[in-house]
Amino acid sequence: MQSRASDNLRRWNAMLGLPDDFPRLEPLSWEEAGVRAYVREDLLVGLAETANAPGVHCLLTGQGQGATTLSHLLLARLLAGRNRRLLPILLSATADSTADLAAIVRRTFVTTIGERRWDDVLSPREYYDLREMLGSSHDSGDQDARTAESGAGIPARVRAETLSGPLPAFLAWIRRLGLSTVLLADLSGLEDEDDALRAIGRLKDLAAPLHEAQGFDTEILFLAPTTYDLLDYVWPRGYQTSAFAPYTPEEVLSILWQHHRRLDLEEPDHNPLRAIVPASLVRAGWRADLSIEAVVVALRDRLLRLFDCDWRDVFARLAGEEARDANHES
Amino acid sequence: MPITNLEVLELRGALFSEGYQVPAVFANRTAEREELLALIEGAGDRRAVIVADSLGAGKSFLIQMVAGDLGHTSAGSWPTVRNLANLAATDAAFSVVEDFDIKMPYADLTGVLDTIARLWQNLPPTVLLVGDHTLRNPDLLRHLPGEIATVRMKPLDTEFFLHAVGLRVERFTGHKGEIELFDPEFLAYLLPNTSPPVATFRETFSILWRMAAHLPLNRAPCRFSGGEFAHLHPFSGIPPESPADRLAKWLLDYIRRVYKPGVPLAALETSMLLEAAGLDMAPESFEAAVLKPLVSARVLRSVGIPYSRSAGRNDRFPPPYLPSALAFLSARYGGGLA
């Protein structure tokens, strides 16, 4: 029976030009995520604006709701954004669990400063100050304004003072250049209390202010409500919170479509899946607390159950679902 | 000239957020500073000095101030329990390890203390260990060799708090003199009188920072009287009509019935809370299923010694408990629970 259902699903997928194993979400590289990940554009725009507002902002998301993808897309958006005085960095509690985070921050910001053109961003005075601080006493073109990843373009005196002391002092140095720092921290995958509190401790080591020096100008933290509760218990700082509503069943279809569509052929705004797959099939396995992946697994199970019939009956069954869906919407 | 609502709104980051919580504008804790300085300067045999108080009580700033008093130029770049690098590489009269607290599992903390014990002979005469009440756990401290001294922090009370706010106000607005930003009754709930004390600088400032966003946008003299609190809705994640929800409502009612600002409210034991909840459960199960969610939701604060043997090694939030400042404010001014 299961084989018949699987065969029918494969045949249906082939007929519609969908991948053999549809519906399924495969891990995407961050380059792929830039074109294949569906996120709410208004949310991304709002977060990019938030990055310009000093403070600590917490985006509360359910487990498996794409917070990691969202944080990467936000980083890309900020790096390509109009505000080139903004230096963003993304740290991940799970990916960077043992790394020297302060070293990553220093290296990333020094690299970003070295790679960008500043003469058309900063005022003449600020540009002069930047070049003075980077050790270039005369304007000899872009090359001088570039620093290697190790900070080789920065004189040893500056390196010693700014690159080895407490991180807040380094961030204060960046602030004196007329630039702002934004920390994006992905704490979303932390289900275990020990892991969550360890990550919070590491964040505190990194971002706590020191003496007259602030930490980062802006922090945007992606985390589950339970992790936020722990954060606010052990380190209350006047967080600004917003909740990320789980993706709706209709949006799950958009996620699937964006994930699988032929980039060279199909318009991103046109999602034929919505016409092909009745939303009721997604809705049946959808719950607000489920991950996107779990909803997709439930959809696949639902499709297999529906397709467990003679191939000729598949379309009648789908039509029945569509009718139910239409009744639901009306 | 009194400080206006608009001024406070515009300066709420400077006045009430940690980013500006700098020693120069922080209450100076003179007694603790002198005690700590005397311990460091009078050190004979190598010893550990414990500074243990609630998270956000101002311990790190105390250490920074003392380091400044001793001319320690790299003050603040201390090792933490998560990173002991450079612990022994100091020629100062003391070394510091911060964050001995519930953010670390018990096994990790004992590991850190064992490392300190191994390095003991190479450390300065005074080893300052800074953390929350975890550092009051005798089982944990047994891992340390040598003598142990303790410095107690003065609890945050109204006078102390107004002094700290006064320093900030003067620094960031130029206003001098008596601070009239707070209605006295409001202060009695913002800084509840409890035994043991639960109010901390960090939590208190965090609450004010949130409340300041709801001040009226005008140039009237600013006075926090509690009405702004009802806008906050600070408690999250408590399912309506669940045992935790019912107990939270009981707690708010208990505060309304029992709390008199002149008399410290005593900590509540599990047995009393279990009776109030009317549940037929083992105390340990009740703590895990009902009390811990209330701690996470910031309705309750645990005031026991974390990781103590009687509480079980994994217990970060052991009994007894006290209502949080948020709960006191919610009981008096509304807001909070649905």
> Is there a contact between B101 and A234 if contact means CB atoms under 8 Å apart?
yes
Residues from chain B that touch A232, judged by Cβ atoms under 8 A, are 206, 298
Tell whether A287 and A158 lie within a shared domain: no
Residues from chain B that touch A237, judged by Cβ atoms under 8 A, are 17-18, 202, 206
> How many distinct structural domains can be found in chain A?
2
CATH code at position A211: 3.40.50
Pick the CATH number of B30-151 from 3.50.50.60, 3.40.630.30, 3.40.50.300, 1.10.3720.10: 3.40.50.300
Task: Please give the share of chain B, as a percent, with pLDDT higher than 90.
Answer: 59
Domain stop point among A243, A265, A291? A243
**pLDDT category of residue B77 using cuts at 50, 70 and 90:** low
Closest Cα in chain B to A243: B236
Residues from chain A that touch B209, judged by Cβ atoms under 8 A, are 238
> Is there a contact between B19 and A209 if contact means CB atoms under 8 Å apart?
yes
pLDDT at A106: 87
> Is there a contact between B105 and A212 if contact means CB atoms under 8 Å apart?
no
Which whole number is the average pLDDT over A253-276?
77
A210 touches chain B (CB under 8 A): yes
Say yes or no to pLDDT of B300 above 90: yes
B206 touches chain A (CB under 8 A): yes
Residues from chain B that touch A228, judged by Cβ atoms under 8 A, are 236
Say yes or no to pLDDT of A152 above 50: no
Domain-wise residue ranges, chain B: 5-23+156-231, 30-151, 243-333
Most confident of A8-22, A261-275, A287-301, B311-325: A287-301
pLDDT at B290: 96
Domain that holds residue A276: 2-23+247-329
* A57 alpha-carbon distance from chain centroid: 15
Say yes or no to pLDDT of B21 above 60: no
Angle ∠(A172,A211,A177) on CA atoms, nearest 5: 10
Bond preceding residue B264 cis, omega within 30 of 0: no
Say yes or no to pLDDT of A137 above 60: no
Which whole number is the average pLDDT over A76-101?
89
**pLDDT category of residue A159 using cuts at 50, 70 and 90:** low
Which whole number is the average pLDDT over A163-179?
80
**pLDDT category of residue A212 using cuts at 50, 70 and 90:** low
Interface of B with A in 276-315 (CB under 8 A): 295-298
* B64 alpha-carbon distance from chain centroid: 17
Domain stop point among A194, A216, A243? A243
Say yes or no to pLDDT of B88 above 50: yes
B111 touches chain A (CB under 8 A): no
A189-202 pLDDT tens trace: 898 999 999 999 99
User: What ipTM was assigned to the predicted interfaces of this complex?
Assistant: 0.88
Residues from chain B that touch A166, judged by Cβ atoms under 8 A, are 74, 76-77
Which whole number is the average pLDDT over B46-51?
94
Pairing assessment for the beta strands A240-243 and A86-92 based on DSSP bridges:
unpaired
Tell whether A146 and A280 lie within a shared domain: no
B52-71 pLDDT tens trace: 998 888 888 888 888 888 88
B134 touches chain A (CB under 8 A): no
Give the CB-side neighbour count of residue A302, counting CA atoms within 13 A. Answer: 20
Q: For the residues of B272-298, what is the DSSP string, one character each?
A: HHHHHHT----HHHHIIIIIHHHHHTT
Pairing assessment for the beta strands A86-92 and B94-100 based on DSSP bridges:
unpaired
Which uninterrupted H or E stretch holds A106? Answer: helix A101-115
Q: Poorest-confidence range of A208-217, A316-325, B21-30, B200-209?
A: B21-30
Q: Poorest-confidence range of A12-16, B15-19, B207-211?
A: B15-19
Locate A100 and state its tokens: 């020297």
Tell whether A226 and A265 lie within a shared domain: no
Average pLDDT of chain B, as a whole number: 88
List Cα–Cα distances, A172 to A111, B103, B196, B220, in angstroms.
Answer: 17, 27, 39, 35
